[in-house]
Chains A and B, each alone.
Chain A
């Protein structure tokens, strides 16, 4: 593996990280929106969200990606690999995030809600100032966990031609007839990123546990 190959893999890494970030940033608020729809028991929509989330959580990302990439052009929507990748990532992570947000919402202590109502706060205010800060705190470990899981599934984007780490590694392997080294390099690049997120999650959990013990 030459230096040029290594750089190709690094470039792929940049693509991977960028796509992951985009997926995470878009997926977080959408997941919250879905969770609110279910928690608020909005008629019809709540049921649709429930079914959507159940299906998305059961669908492998690669299957979803292939579905979007091949089926959308078929019904007239042209889509390039990158957009298909982002769409698949967002649909996937939003469903998982929804469940994390929903757990936090369901465990939200009712009396706090009532206290806010009784001092005359209106719905939007209640949400913004009382509910949101606390469910963000509670959801944090689960959301960070989901982020690390998202990064771990990005290799699959190579399947539709996105030139991320995996695609670069596959190409180099095919060219040099030595498939193993580029994959090992790819792992060496992925592992620290995931490790960072996993450590972050553990740190958050420890801090929250300590805060709770002190309280």
Chain B
């Protein structure tokens, strides 16, 4: 069986929407403790790739393995049902571009909801862990506040804590700072940088080049649904191999130095 030692093994994944091929034969693997940043121009299929990993989108071809278990297809070779998918998804944490916090629950309740309801863990243990996570992201004092009262940066930090509360093997970030005002981006990137340093296994779709340069162990460059280039960030940013990567970096080089400060 492929990829038993890897946290994430993506093999030959393809996906089309209508007659547009959004992903073409994408393959890559992620080891434990790696931080992989997925970069690329808009429409390159980065988000779709991420959403295929936990089967929010169903790939048309290919296999995906998380910690050795296949996602989306069960042992009998049939498409997984609701319950089986649910079991796999609990091992994959996801952080959304638009935060996606549950509005009817407080911050603390947001963190505790899935561990209690889906993982059936005891309430006391879940609560202690949730409070520890809130302290870690610096939002302990907001535990009884409803999400609508938080700033974007605060919401995303809660989103990260919520994903961590599930004790996932793998963390997926779908453009976590794209919906934030520039001055709020820093606080979220700081949390993500800490997580990378701690050795969390993460796959991050982002436009934050500065962050990718500093925190990633590996960069995956996607263009029009294909993995065009991959490698350590210092290599990718300094000496891109392909022309597409060069064009892409040129466009963003201006941004990193002029516009956004990559703290």
Direct contact of A and B (CB under 8 A): no
Query: Could you list which residues of chain B lie within 8 angstroms of chain A, going by C-beta atoms?
Result: none
Query: Could you list which residues of chain A lie within 8 angstroms of chain B, going by C-beta atoms?
Result: none
